[in-house]
Amino acid sequence: MNIPPSLRSGFTVKWRDESLVDPFGDPIQSTDSWALKYYIRTNSSSGLTATGSTYGTGWEFTLSASDTAPLTKGDYFWQAEASK
């Protein structure tokens, strides 16, 4: 997972993740109709959701400056979810 360690309000953020493997050794790839999302949250706000677009067999994520504009200072937590 290559999500940046910090996000700044009003700045565009981009990152890429390679394809993954599930606990059974099966590939999780964007080319096999898998979707990858990041949920970025705090304890006090709804936060952001970043949905990856296909990049090779992995994903590319972009949060625009307007997406990050509502972010306030504080600790954020993230969770990645792959679904098919």
**Chain segment 35-80, per-residue pLDDT in tens:** 999 999 988 777 899 999 999 999 999 999 999 998 888 889 999 9
**Chain segment 6-45, per-residue pLDDT in tens:** 999 999 999 999 999 999 999 999 999 999 999 999 887 7
Contact 8, 65 (CB under 8 A): no
Three-state DSSP at 39 gives: strand
Tokens representing 57?
């067999």
Cα 9 to the center of its chain, rounded Å: 16
